[in-house]
Amino acid sequence: MKKLMFALALAGLATGAMAQENEIPTKKYSVATNSFWSNWYVQVGGEFNAAYTNQEKLGNKNPFSVDRGTFGFEAAVGKWFTPVIGLRTKFQGIWAKAVNDGDDHHSYKYWTIHEDVMFNLSNAFCGYNEKRFWNIAPYVGIGYINRMEASDAADRNSEYREPTYNVGIYNSFRINRRLAAYLDVWGMAMEGSLDAFNSYKNQGENDWHAHKKTESRYWDKLVGVSVGLNINLGKTIGWNKVPDVDALMAMNKEQLDALNNSLKEQQDENARLRNLLANQKPGETKTVKEFATTPVSVFFNINRTKIASRKDLVNVKELAEYAKANNKKLVVTGYADSKTGTAAINQRLSEGRAKAVANELVKMGVSRDNIVVESKGGVNDIAPFSYNRRAIVKLQ
C-alpha cells in the first residue's frame, strides 16, 4: 500500500517537471533606443598619405613611392546614434609632400579637421551583433584644411585655407567589449594648390597672375591608409534587441498548449492509478510496476547538452531507485529538435544529452553496466518543437 501511494504522489510531481525555455525571440533589425551619452568612442592612430596635385610632372603614380608618400597621425571622437548611422569628428596631419617632378618633392605641414557621416553596412545587411568580429562602414564628410608651411620658400607666406570633401571605408576588428583595431582607407579633395607650388612661377609675371586667377579650377588630392585603436566609452556599449512580441506570444501559446496537454495526461494517469488502487487486491504490486515503466523526460535548451532544470531529475531519481531495488536496466535515449541545426549537429546534441543524463544516473548509484545509452538525432515527435530537445529514461 505504501508503494502504491508513493506512486500516486510521484505521478503528480510530473506536472512540475516541464522544460523552461530561456530564449526570448528578438527582431533582427530593431534595437532599443539609448541615451545621448551612450555609444561614444575615441580613436587614435597613425596614417600614411600620398599627394596628387594639379601641377605635378612626376610620372610615377605609385602612392607608396617615397617621392609621393609620407606619414602622419590622427585622432577622432564619434558616436553611433543607431547600429547603422553615426557621426565622427576627425583631426589629422601634419606632414604631406609636394609632388612636382623627380627632383622636387619637399615635405610641408598641414592639419585638417572634418565631420564624417558613417554607415555601418555590416549591421544594415546582417543585423546588429555586438560580438561581430569585422564591421565595415563607408563614410562621407566635409571639413577644413589649413597649410601651415608651404613646400616652396618663395610662397612660404602664402595662405591656404579651404574646405575639404572626404570619403572613406572604415573597417573595425573587435578585440573585446571596449577595444577594436581599425583600418581606414580614405581620400580627400580640396580646391586650389594645397602645397603652394606652381609650375607657372618661373614663366613670367603675366603668366603667374593669369594662373592665380584660374588655379581655383584645379583640385589637389590626398589619399591614405590609417591604422589604430578604437576605444568605446561609457557604461552603455551597443544596443539591446527589441523582443519579437508576435513570436513571443506564439511561443507562449505553444507552451501553454503543451502544459495543458501534459496536465490532462497526468490527470488521466492519476485517474487510472486510482482506479487500479480501488480494484487492487491485498499484496499486489502491479500498479507500482506499471508506473515504473512510464518514461521520464529531461529537457534541454537549444544547442545545449547541459540539463536545463534540475527539477527534471526528481522523477529520474525515483526511477533510478526502483531500478536499483529490482536490479533493472535503464535505457537513456537522447533527442534534438529537427527544425533547428543540421543532421550532424543534432546527432551530436542527442548523444551529448543522453550521456549527460546517464552521468546523473551513475551519480545516483546506478551501475554504468545497467545503463544503455542511445541517440536518435533530430526529431519532431511532440509540440512545441522545443520540447523535442530532451532525453528519455525508461526501464529496459
pLDDT score recorded for residue 79 = 96
SS3 328: coil
For the chain, count helices (H), then strands (E).
7, 14
pLDDT score recorded for residue 146 = 92
Segment 42-51, tens digit of pLDDT? 999 999 999 8
Q: Find, among 224, 226, 227, the residue nearest to 52 by Cα.
A: 224
Cα–Cα dist 53/99, whole Å: 6
382 against 264, higher pLDDT: 382
390 forms beta bridges with 299
Segment 171-226, tens digit of pLDDT? 999 999 999 999 999 999 998 888 766 544 444 444 444 444 455 567 899 999 99
SS3 357: helix
For the whole model, what pTM was predicted?
Answer: 0.55
Q: What is the mean pLDDT of residues 309-331?
A: 87
303 phi and psi, to 5 degrees?
Answer: 60, 30
Amino acid making up residue 360: E
User: Mean pLDDT for the chain?
Assistant: 79
Segment 146-178, tens digit of pLDDT? 988 654 444 444 568 899 999 999 999 999 999
Which are the contacts of 20, defined by CB distance < 8 A and separation ≥ 6? 299, 308, 309
Scan for cell 571622437, then name that residue.
Answer: 77
Which are the contacts of 205, defined by CB distance < 8 A and separation ≥ 6? none
pLDDT score recorded for residue 14 = 39
